[in-house]
Amino acid sequence: MPSAHDGPLPVNDPNTSTGAAHTLVAELLELLELERLEDNLFRGPSRDIGTTRVYGGQVLGQAIQAAQYTVTDRPVHSLHAYFLREGDHNAPIIYTVDRSRDGRSFSARRVVAIQHGQPIFTLAASFQHAEDGLEHQARMPEVPDPDALRDVSEYAAEVKGDMPEKFRRVVKKMTGPAEIRPTEPLRSADATAASALFKNFWFRIPGPLPEDEMLHRAILAYVSDYGLLTTALIPHGIDLSSANLQIASIDHAIWYHRPLRVDEWLLYSCDSPSASGARGLARGNIFTRSGRLVASTAQEGLIRVVK
Helix axes 18-31, 213-224, angle to 10 degrees: 100
Q: Degrees (nearest 5) of the Cα angle 104, 108, 110?
A: 160
CA dist., res. 226 & res. 198, Å (int)? 10
Active site residue 128: no
Alpha helix segments (H runs only) across 176-285? 213-224
Say if residues 271 and 200 touch (Cβ distance below 8 Å).
no
Q: Looking at 3, 115, 126, 299, which residue is catalytic?
A: 299
Active site residue 62: no
CA dist., res. 54 & res. 66, Å (int)? 17
Q: Looking at 6, 151, 225, 239, which residue is catalytic?
A: 225
**Residue 179's beta-bridge partner residues?**
204
DSSP states of 164-179: -HHHHHHHHH---S-E
Say if residues 100 and 108 touch (Cβ distance below 8 Å).
yes
Active site residue 78: no
Q: Looking at 224, 249, 272, 296, which residue is catalytic?
A: 249
Query: Among residues 86, 119, 97, which one has the least CA distance to residue 42?
Result: 97
Cis check: omega of the bond before 208, within 30 degrees of 0: yes
CA dist., res. 156 & res. 186, Å (int)? 9
**Residue 97's beta-bridge partner residues?**
111
The whole-angstrom distance between residue 53's C-alpha and the CA centroid of its chain comes to: 15
Residues with a catalytic annotation lie at: 225, 249, 299
